[in-house]
Structure 1
Amino acid sequence: MQTLDLIVFIVYMGGISLFGASFYSKDKSSDTFTLGNSNFPTWVVTMSIFATFVSSISFLGLPGNAYQTNWNAFVFSLSLPIASIMAVQFFVPLYRKLNSPSAYAYMETKFGLWARVYVSACYLLTQMMRIGTILYLLALPVNALFGWDILTIIALTGLVVMGYSLLGGIQAVMWTDAIQGIVLIGGALVCLLYIFFSMPEGPGQVFTVALENDKFSLGSFGSSLSESTFWVVLIYGIFINLQNYGIDQNYVQRYMASRSEAEAKRSAFWGGMLYVPVSMLFFLIGTALFSYYSVFPNSLPAELHDVTKSDRVFPFFIVKVLPPGLTGLLIASIFAAGMSTISTSINSSSTVVLVDYYQRFSKTKLTEKQSMRVLYLTTFIISILGIGIAFAMINVKSALDAWWKLASVFSGGMLGLFLLGAFVEKVNRKGAIVGMVLGVLLILWMSLSPIFWTEGTLSVYASPFHAYLAIVFGTLVLFITGFLATVLFSRKSTD
């Protein structure tokens, strides 16, 4: 069994690596490395945006979350249509008009250099955490199948992705994204069908057991702001996805890589919308696994009955239940999801370092050779840092919850600053700075106080709100403060 699966896995890894590396050229320019000369077909950009949404966080985290609880986290996906429409109407035209490889050049035009540096730094921190989380999740099924050391798997995977990202630039990233997006959808569908037809009473038993245990619940519809209710997750999803579409370099770089504004709009809309049914597929896998192991409880090791180990149930099923060859295909699908996102994060981060730091602060114009040297070196450094962070993720309780909380902390007011610049014509920069400071302090308090102040006399200082709302309140505080400061100072100037 392991031999056949190993062959499938190695063939996939080798094939996708060679395909990505085939885009290497000695004469590659920085524009080719970062934007591919803006000459990608619409379907490739669409699948690349979709693959950026999907990662091993989705492929393993979402089924694990559904297995452990219910479909409350699926509400996050329901917010995507709102963000997709906003992207088509506002964000794509804005960045196509600006015509910069970096999403953060816009921040300087509205607020000054400090905003560009601050937001780009927040982005780089977020991407390194994302790379680390995904590398960790990718190691789980391979460790379960072959028994290889998790640290070794993380290191090898990170180096492979770094290799073809470094050699092929965004051309390798986006074309492999397109292929990997197709592979991961196919693998997930095959797995779900296998679970359905493995039930003693047929596919309907999956739904019968799940309904008896309220596994399809979208969460409470109450008004509590301290729990993960339907409304809390929906609002969180709207803000996070607006941030993705509005100021995330991963997405903005794809707007600019499209051949025209019309094609960029189509790719932005359908790339996001495709994630909704695919995320539903992942949640259904998690629910089906719950039903399966409710019927066959002795098939699951005692340690995996612990809800804190829910991220490991799906990898266990892949390794122990799926037939030879199919196991290798599913692991290849998981790697397809993770590798596409990692390569995207690496390429976009190296672009930010080049455009927002080296080119911006260089007193002389960089030559193409110097620019490429910066891109190559940055690609290497970010990959190594991501591998190090993955090592630190090994003992987390839930990779999905950990990623969502960390994303709120490191995003640190990025969205509020962007919305303030996009929807307020003339912004008072001092007010924006005050708003940013207040917003970031609020985000830090809401995200970190449950960790440090849950017990003892200091518990009175803990945030009463759910951690998902950190980015929501932080964004609102920044936007409202900056807006009021602008109105106030404008009136004084008029007087």
Structure 2
Amino acid sequence: MSTIDWIVLFGTLGTIAAYGVYKTYKQNSLDSYLRGKNSMNWWTIGLSIMATQASAITFLSTPGQAYEDGMRFIQFYFGLPLAMIIISVSFIPIYYKLKVYTAYEYLENRFDLKTRTLASLLFIIQRGLGAGITIYAPAIILSTLLGWNLTWTNILIGTLVIIYTVSGGTEAVSITQKQQMAVMMGGMILAGIIVIQMLPISFQEALHVAGSMDKLNIVNFEFDLADRYNIWSGMTAAVFLFLGYFGTDQSQVQRYLSGQTLSQSRMGLIMNGFLKIPMQFVILFIGVMVFVFYQFFQPPVVFNKVQTEKLRESEYAGDFEKLEDNYTANFEESKTSYMKMLDAIKENDKESERIIKSELKSLKQEQKEIRDEVKELIVANDPVAETRDTDYVFMRFVMDNLPTGIIGLLFAVIFSAAMSSSASELNSLGSTSTIDLYKRSIKKEASDIHYLRSSKFFTAFWGVGAILFATYASLFENLIQAVNLLGSLFYGTILGIFIVGFFMKWVNGKAVFIGALASEALIFIIHFRNGIGFFDFVWNIGFLWYNAIGCLAVMLFAAIVQFFIKK
């Protein structure tokens, strides 16, 4: 990157962090630190909720996913507005009525201390791990692209977040997320405009190219439990995930508990419900346009440049060069076929269009086979090398093609997204550790200042823990996928506890506690035996369905246990 890009990158990040500290460093009470003095208006809440969910992985992985798989991922969010309405009607009024700091305080009021503690611990486990992954996942990609040391990249992201989150608490997180959202969406929209202008064909022709390769496949009505992204999972299983995430996850609950009024919090949630889908559509569509761009300008065989450079210097360099030549020949033939297809569309020659589309799909299959052979060489040269390069597609395009200054801005987008999600996670972990564990079960009587300091301590503690986890996260596999999977392993059970509390008034604490433990055990059995099963009974279930199964299992098990308790 150029000097200007570095100035834009660090200037943006430094300004946001400094602004958060400057505006909120005088927090002098636990209430103002954890609930932001209940000063947030609805649009600040809405932007904060969106920024919390929009991690760096959203901006790194989503365009790459669209490049590879089209726009069908958008179906994952179709149930979001419904979930926001349910939470606004059922969850928020109860939280406001009880004036809670955390969602889990309600559970002791409704059930007992052990149920509250269980839900808090389930949240801390999954969110504590999630905070490390939120830092690591973008850090490994950014460090590769920029040539930085991975450990120092983790430390940079984590330290910036710790500084302003510990300093200002909930208010600092919320006000910095407004600037971060402006940087994130402004940068992405600008990148989208630039890539469309760089296309050698018209916008309408670009849509024809994308459609011919099934990249505009927004809705899929086929019912398949193993498929994570179709209309059925989006409107059912994903609704349970969103209810668990936005309704019971303290990283989100804390965003709207800082609202001026109940109405402001509701409006902030509804804003998120109806703006998130267009936001994801824009990011996915940018990925599709990058795909179209690379149909006329030759893409790299593998987008992870570090791995291909290692291959050039290895004993497999000759084999790699031959595969690159084959890849170039395939690209030139594909490019010619695209131009012929566009001519056939202009002339309304349906038969020629059909034949050329068939030829293009064969060429794309051949291209995939060449890429797979290159990835085999990469693994042969380095057995622990990561060959999944989808997450490198967008930023490799940015670095190779966008003008000076814009490159720095797009890197600032990724760092800002990592900081916004991490800040919310650390803020919520500090709150839950202080209110639900330390204050409730360890040191029950102390001053407000003592609990304020302990909340800051726990926030910093979890920040350092997240950095350490991120530093050693390379010991684990499939971290990018783990971000989505991790929540689904726990959200269903936590949501089930709350649903029993809200709607099954005849169930007591002992029954729901046992039901929650049984439900969590069931989810882990389903996950670790997925595709394997027991004896002749085998299942293959997409992890989104874990949320629905976990929630319903808590309700069922709790009802059964309560029945026997009464007997």
TM-score by length of 2: 0.80
Give the structure with higher Rg (CA).
2
Kindly indicate whether the alpha-carbon contact (under 8 Å) linking 2:42 and 2:268 is maintained by their aligned counterparts in 1: yes
Instruction: Provide the C-alpha distance between the structure 1 equivalents of 2:536 and 2:473, rounded to a whole number of angstroms.
Output: 30
* TM-aligned CA distance change 1:390 to 1:286, over 3 Å: farther
* Range that drifts further, 379-388 or 319-328: 379-388
Match for residue 249 of structure 2? Answer: 248
Match for residue 290 of structure 2? Answer: 289
Aligned with 2:547 (options 471, 477, 480)? 471
* TM-aligned CA distance change 1:343 to 1:27, over 3 Å: closer
Is 1:369 the equivalent of 2:449? yes
Amino acid at match of 1:475: C
Match for residue 217 of structure 1? Answer: 217
Displacement of 1:142 after TM fit?
3.6
* TM-aligned CA distance change 1:223 to 1:41, over 3 Å: closer
Kindly indicate whether the alpha-carbon contact (under 8 Å) linking 2:245 and 2:491 is maintained by their aligned counterparts in 1: no
Kindly indicate whether the alpha-carbon contact (under 8 Å) linking 1:166 and 1:379 is maintained by their aligned counterparts in 2: yes
Amino acid at match of 2:253: V
Is 1:185 the equivalent of 2:166? no
* Range that drifts further, 340-349 or 33-42: 33-42
Is 1:319 the equivalent of 2:419? no
Match for residue 269 of structure 1? Answer: 270
* TM-aligned CA distance change 1:200 to 1:168, over 3 Å: same
Instruction: Provide the C-alpha distance between the structure 1 equivalents of 2:479 and 2:213, rounded to a whole number of angstroms.
Output: 24
Match for residue 483 of structure 1? Answer: 559
User: Once the two structures are aligned, what percentage of the paired residues are identical?
Assistant: 27
Displacement of 1:465 after TM fit?
2.0
Kindly indicate whether the alpha-carbon contact (under 8 Å) linking 1:188 and 1:282 is maintained by their aligned counterparts in 2: yes
Displacement of 1:317 after TM fit?
1.3
* Range that drifts further, 114-123 or 251-260: 251-260
Match for residue 54 of structure 1? Answer: 54
Amino acid at match of 1:295: F
Displacement of 1:393 after TM fit?
4.4
Is 1:359 the equivalent of 2:439? yes
Match for residue 151 of structure 2? Answer: 151
- Deviation string 1:226-281 (CA, Å, 9 cap, x unpaired) is 33351234423101101122211122223321111111111111123221110111
Displacement of 1:442 after TM fit?
1.7
Displacement of 1:394 after TM fit?
4.5
Instruction: Provide the C-alpha distance between the structure 2 equivalents of 1:346 and 1:184, rounded to a whole number of angstroms.
Output: 20
Instruction: Provide the C-alpha distance between the structure 1 equivalents of 2:472 and 2:241, rounded to a whole number of angstroms.
Output: 24
Displacement of 1:300 after TM fit?
5.3
**3-state DSSP class of the match of 2:529?**
helix
Is 1:385 the equivalent of 2:465? yes
Match for residue 200 of structure 1? Answer: 200
Structure 2: stretches of 5+ with no match in the other structure: 306-370, 373-386
Structure 1: stretches of 5+ with no match in the other structure: none
What CA RMSD, in Å, does the superposition of the two structures yield over aligned residues? Answer: 2.4
Match for residue 437 of structure 1? Answer: 517
Instruction: Provide the C-alpha distance between the structure 1 equivalents of 2:193 and 2:538, rounded to a whole number of angstroms.
Output: 45
Instruction: Provide the C-alpha distance between the structure 1 equivalents of 2:408 and 2:24, rounded to a whole number of angstroms.
Output: 28
* TM-aligned CA distance change 1:352 to 1:403, over 3 Å: same
* TM-aligned CA distance change 1:358 to 1:261, over 3 Å: same
* TM-aligned CA distance change 1:16 to 1:187, over 3 Å: same
Instruction: Provide the C-alpha distance between the structure 1 equivalents of 2:33 and 2:205, rounded to a whole number of angstroms.
Output: 50
**3-state DSSP class of the match of 1:225?**
coil
Amino acid at match of 2:188: A
* Range that drifts further, 395-404 or 178-187: 395-404
**3-state DSSP class of the match of 1:160?**
helix
Match for residue 89 of structure 2? Answer: 89
Instruction: Provide the C-alpha distance between the structure 1 equivalents of 2:2 and 2:476, rounded to a whole number of angstroms.
Output: 28
Match for residue 426 of structure 1? Answer: 506
Displacement of 1:404 after TM fit?
1.5
Displacement of 1:25 after TM fit?
3.7
Instruction: Provide the C-alpha distance between the structure 1 equivalents of 2:282 and 2:299, rounded to a whole number of angstroms.
Output: 26
* TM-aligned CA distance change 1:115 to 1:72, over 3 Å: farther
Kindly indicate whether the alpha-carbon contact (under 8 Å) linking 2:133 and 2:479 is maintained by their aligned counterparts in 1: yes
Instruction: Provide the C-alpha distance between the structure 2 equivalents of 1:480 and 1:218, rounded to a whole number of angstroms.
Output: 35
Kindly indicate whether the alpha-carbon contact (under 8 Å) linking 2:60 and 2:394 is maintained by their aligned counterparts in 1: yes
Instruction: Provide the C-alpha distance between the structure 1 equivalents of 2:445 and 2:115, rounded to a whole number of angstroms.
Output: 22
Is 1:236 the equivalent of 2:245? no
**3-state DSSP class of the match of 2:446?**
coil
* Range that drifts further, 333-342 or 350-359: 333-342
Instruction: Provide the C-alpha distance between the structure 1 equivalents of 2:472 and 2:200, rounded to a whole number of angstroms.
Output: 41
Displacement of 1:3 after TM fit?
1.1
Kindly indicate whether the alpha-carbon contact (under 8 Å) linking 1:442 and 1:470 is maintained by their aligned counterparts in 2: no
Displacement of 1:149 after TM fit?
1.6
Displacement of 1:294 after TM fit?
2.6
**3-state DSSP class of the match of 1:8?**
helix
* TM-aligned CA distance change 1:88 to 1:14, over 3 Å: same
Match for residue 125 of structure 2? Answer: 125
**3-state DSSP class of the match of 1:427?**
coil
Instruction: Provide the C-alpha distance between the structure 2 equivalents of 1:81 and 1:200, rounded to a whole number of angstroms.
Output: 38
Instruction: Provide the C-alpha distance between the structure 2 equivalents of 1:259 and 1:302, rounded to a whole number of angstroms.
Output: 47
**3-state DSSP class of the match of 1:295?**
coil
Displacement of 1:16 after TM fit?
0.9
User: Which aligned pairs between 1:400-419 and structure 2 lie closer than 5 A?
Assistant: 400-411=480-491, 413-419=493-499
Displacement of 1:356 after TM fit?
0.3
Displacement of 1:133 after TM fit?
2.4
Kindly indicate whether the alpha-carbon contact (under 8 Å) linking 2:302 and 2:389 is maintained by their aligned counterparts in 1: no
* TM-aligned CA distance change 1:150 to 1:209, over 3 Å: farther
Amino acid at match of 2:76: F
Instruction: Provide the C-alpha distance between the structure 2 equivalents of 1:205 and 1:198, rounded to a whole number of angstroms.
Output: 13
Match for residue 79 of structure 1? Answer: 79
TM-score by length of 1: 0.91
Kindly indicate whether the alpha-carbon contact (under 8 Å) linking 1:96 and 1:255 is maintained by their aligned counterparts in 2: no
Kindly indicate whether the alpha-carbon contact (under 8 Å) linking 1:95 and 1:255 is maintained by their aligned counterparts in 2: no
Kindly indicate whether the alpha-carbon contact (under 8 Å) linking 1:65 and 1:286 is maintained by their aligned counterparts in 2: yes
